Amino acid sequence: EDQVTQSPEALRLQEGESSSLNCSYTVSGLRGLFWYRQDPGKGPEFLFTLYSAGEEKEKERLKATLTKKESFLHITAPKPEDSATYLCAVQAKETSGSRLTFGEGTQLTVNP
Amino acid sequence: DGGITQSPKYLFRKEGQNVTLSCEQNLNHDAMYWYRQDPGQGLRLIYYSQIVNDFQKGDIAEGYSVSREKKESFPLTVTSAQKNPTAFYLCASKRGLYHETQYFGPGTRLLVL
């Protein structure tokens, strides 16, 4: 059974204080790992897809990296507008319908 | 603008009542999905459809039903058999077999009166 564990559950940062969110996963052959951002009361917004160990992707202050067991979402010099819940999901190679398995998310708060 | 729309934003259900949540996309995506989100839990898959007139159960399909009569529409009915329907419901779509990324709609919050 595919599993995704995100840590920490919640993270409070001061504006400009860089940090990382963790997504540990077990899957029977990874097809893709996905990061989403979700604001309260809204649908998840797609951020990144990573396919293989060693791959990195960047977008503004966010950088996602992938190893064979985990992914990190690095946030550099965060701003209050980066406050949101960040969701990680995996898709297995042999899954039907391209279904995703999600973690519970990390709730990030950036204080000014 | 291309995107996924869900309506209504809020929905109230009475005991014994069936309610239907709408999901429409104009992205020309082949696959569509319904997820349920509860506080402190990851998104859980209810149903999905890869082509018109075909759909499969996800992990928590009991008490729900769907149809896929048109490519752009995938409505979800929450039946009276679903004993704990209060949740945030999210619809997603994906382009096709060789495209992995799912894109989400804004969600519908269902509350029980």
The per-residue pLDDT for range B18-32, each reduced to its tens digit, is 999 999 999 999 999
Give me the pLDDT at residue B1, please: 60
Report the run of H or E that residue B20 belongs to, with start and end: strand B19-25
Expressed in percent and rounded to 5, the helix, strand and coil fractions of chain A are 5, 60, 35
Percent of chain B beyond pLDDT 70? 96
A·B CB contacts under 8 A: 61
The residue ranges of chain A whose pLDDT is under 50 are: none
Give me the pLDDT at residue B94, please: 94
Taking the C-alpha atoms of A37, A40, A44 and A45 in order, what is their torsion angle to the nearest 10 degrees?
A: -50
Higher pLDDT among residues B40 and B19, named by residue = B19
**Looking at CA atoms only, how far is residue B65 from chain A in angstroms?**
17
**Looking at CA atoms only, how far is residue B62 from chain A in angstroms?**
18
**Looking at CA atoms only, how far is residue A102 from chain B in angstroms?**
5
Minimal Cβ distance to B107: which of A32, A43, A98: A43
Give me the pLDDT at residue A97, please: 76
Residues of B in contact with A101 (CB under 8 A): 42
Give me the pLDDT at residue B96, please: 76
Q: Is residue B97 over pLDDT 80?
A: no
> Cβ of B45 and A99 within 8 Å?
yes
Give me the pLDDT at residue A6, please: 98
> Cβ of A99 and B58 within 8 Å?
yes
Query: A5-20: per-residue pLDDT in tens?
Result: 999 999 999 999 999 9
| C-alpha closest to that of B86 among B25, B4, B10 | B10
Percent of chain B beyond pLDDT 90? 81
Give me the pLDDT at residue B15, please: 84
**Looking at CA atoms only, how far is residue B14 from chain A in angstroms?**
22
Q: Is residue B36 over pLDDT 90?
A: yes
Q: Is residue B98 over pLDDT 90?
A: no
A100, A102, A107, best to mutate vs chain B, most B CBs in 10 Å: A100
> Cβ of A49 and B101 within 8 Å?
yes
Query: B64-74: per-residue pLDDT in tens?
Result: 999 999 999 99
C-alpha–C-alpha distance, residues A28 and A25, integer Å: 10
